[in-house]
Chains A and B, each alone.
Chain A
Amino acid sequence: MKMLVCVSKTPETTTKIQLTADKSDLDKSGIQYIMNPYDEWYALVRALELKEAGGGSVTILNVGPADNDSVIRKGLAIGADDAIRVNSEDGGSLYIAKQIAAQAAGYDIVFFGKETIDYNGSEVGAMVAELLDVAYVGEASHLEMNGNTATITRDIEGGVEVVEVNTPLAVSAAKGMAEQRIPNMRGIMMAKRKPLSVVEPIDAPATTVIASYELPPEKSAVKLVDPENMDELVRLLHEEAKVI
């Protein structure tokens, strides 16, 4: 089975978000970047497990500038066979999806993470599926293959749905799909020699642009309530906060 895992690069999870003076962008100084956790922990690892069980290949795909190569190499160190980087700056979700779709023909499964932890869009996987005219299952927490038929459990509000679908398909991975793998020394050494091909983007217009950012308002100081007096907390929640 030929598998493609689309990965994105996001600020590390402990990042304190700060904005530039005109609020048009994040203040990127000092931000550490990682592979988007859903892409790394769940999508990539499940693809590798499927390859280990049934053969095939796992290719990593990233749309981004040369700085992203470190994230791609990490994916290769975890175990992917090779990688493609579409050499482009971010142009918005549909732009990215069109770049991915231009590379994704011929794969049996195209994996995504359920969302990026920066933009929280949850839309690129579905876009690629539509562009390729293949089935899409979002927020999948289990995926088993039997021949070319996948049985997939997807998270729904307060429960799960189990579906059956044939390849080719696109899927976005949520918690439960696999367990995080830490690359070992051998993987890191091998990753340096694995092929990473850089291709140029196709033309596609931006359909959205982030005009500005805003930080949430600061919380005022916490009001402490005596642990012996929970009637008082209930009164505050009812009369002051008006939430119960």
Chain B
Amino acid sequence: MEIVEVQDLCKTYGTGEAKVEALKHVSFTLKKGEFAAVIGESGSGKSTLLNCVGALDEPTGGRILIDGQNLFAMGEEERTIFRRRNIGFIFQSFHLIPELNVEQNIIFPLLLDHKKPDVGQVEEILAVLGLQERRGHLPGQLSGGQQQRVAIGRALITRPKLILADEPTGNLDRKNSREVMELLTKASRQYQQTILMITHNPNLITSVDRVMQVADGILSDLGGNVNEKLS
């Protein structure tokens, strides 16, 4: 079953002299439970791609279907609600809400839907993330690695069909990076969640199912056995 379907996606910034074609006719699909990594040089268009797929940014051309639904055929409010129920985000600079504690940050997407969080599920996620002791702490009282784990918890809590991660380990050291990767891999294996992750770090793509490369706005699929090819 296809969770992500991107067809002929184009994105241009600016006009005239300042015109930048950040994405040029990008097409690809992701299956349920697939863990895909996007690599490419800085400025190649990776973040633009992720933001379009996550409906944070509007493409200039093409179509994006998430779970069969056309994102940009929806109205603004509908799209927002769709996003919070079906797409989880993890950013390089965590973007936690400073006024909410660990537990509240994790259940935030549920609270936005005015849903009562399932206690068992919250406990499970806190346990998986190793944050049970820290549940009452504010983000300012946590280390970078812990903050990113909270952000992962927040992306997992709604059991979204798709998780988008833009360099989730970019601000972390090696040990914390490995932990984050393990958590993401677990999510994709255990809960059958589709993950699209941007990374700079070639060491991190050993555990992913599929690698795609963006170069100058053009996407090419490197397939699954990319590690042998790169080495």
Are A and B bound to each other?
Answer: no
Residues on A facing B (Cβ under 8 Å): none
List B residues at the A interface (Cβ < 8 Å).
Answer: none
